[in-house]
Amino acid sequence: MSKVPVSKLPMVGVLFWTIKIVATTLGESVSNFVSMAPLNLGYAASALIFLVTFALTLAMQLKSDRFQPVVFWSVILTTSIVGTAMSDYMNRTAGLGYAGGAAVLTTLLVLVLIGWRATGQTMDVERIATTKGEVLYWTATLVSNTLGTSSGDFLSDGLGIGFRDSALLLSAAMLLILAAHYFTPISGTVLFWSAYVLTRPLGAVAENAVEKPVLQGGMGVGTTITSGALLAVLVVLVSYQQLTRRPTAVQQRGTATSATFSVK
């Protein structure tokens, strides 16, 4: 009897999106903690350190034979941390600027998704059950999380909208995608990746709204307290998922199609 392929990616629902936003928001805070105050290692050194961390967590994820919440969300977190550092380096040190960085990364993400589709691998993330498909998923995730920082900075600083109003704008966009999921025939895959990309700038501007000094439009909480609070929330949510996880969609074959933003 042939072995049933097992997806190592989680089912998509409310818990998935909640953890995704918390993890990517924490990634922004941790990256700022290391590259700026209080450690001040700089964007280039931070990006190199986090790239190694990302590679280690990704190796653990690819080696795993089933969905492991701690491992999976560790990769999501490290893509967000390294993406923040790389985006800040491109935009501020390399001189691309927020608009230039967002444009380059948007183009790169589109190319990655087009290339993914051309391979014939499924883009339904609940049913990815091959190493090639998973590598494509993590490539798109890394690029989208890097883009998230640039697009968040572009909205809040480049366009002068500010952190709070940018967060409200992105939240409204997420609600529109949710409405489209339930009330339009738009492809679930398209809606998933639209929401997946938007969670990153939403986390970025929300984190900046809390962390940054009052004079810069934030609440002045600082990176240390912000990172600690977000880490505590992430640990609780991932622990809950670890304790309550169920077989993944590939194992259940078609039984998990009703979750919020589920990919059809």
Tens of pLDDT, residue by residue over 66-80, are 999 999 999 999 999
The confidence score (pLDDT) of residue 207 equals 86
Rounded Cα gap, residues 154 and 83, in angstroms? 15
Q: What are the tokens at 134?
A: 């998973």
Cβ-proximal residues to 250 (8 Å cutoff; 6+ apart), any chain: 4, 5, 6, 7, 126, 127, 129
Q: Find the length of the chain.
A: 264
The confidence score (pLDDT) of residue 208 equals 86
Q: Does residue 247 have a cis bond before it (omega within 30 degrees)?
A: no
CB-CB contact of 104 with 94 (8 Å): no
Mean pLDDT by 10 residues, the chain (264 residues): 70 94 93 90 94 97 95 97 95 94 95 96 92 96 94 92 93 95 92 92 89 86 92 97 72 44 47
Rounded Cα gap, residues 34 and 27, in angstroms? 11
**pTM (predicted TM-score):** 0.89
Question: Quick one: CA dihedral 35, 39, 41, 42, positive or negative?
Answer: positive
Q: What are the tokens at 257?
A: 């199609």
State the burial class of residue 148 (Cβ atoms within 10 Å of its Cβ: 0-12, 13-18, 19+): buried
Please give the full DSSP string across 90-101, using - where no structure is assigned: IIIIS--HHHHH
Reported for 59-67, long-range contacts at CB under 8 A and 24+ positions apart, including other chains, are 61/8, 61/134, 61/138, 62/131, 62/134, 62/135, 64/8, 65/6, 65/8, 66/6, 66/8, 66/248, 67/6, 67/7, 67/8, 67/9, 67/10, 67/245, 67/248
Delimit the domains of the chain by residue range.
14-243
The confidence score (pLDDT) of residue 62 equals 96
The confidence score (pLDDT) of residue 4 equals 52
Q: Residue type at 30?
A: V
CA within 13 Å, CB half, 152: 32
Rounded Cα gap, residues 80 and 82, in angstroms? 6
Q: Residue type at 203?
A: G
The confidence score (pLDDT) of residue 255 equals 43
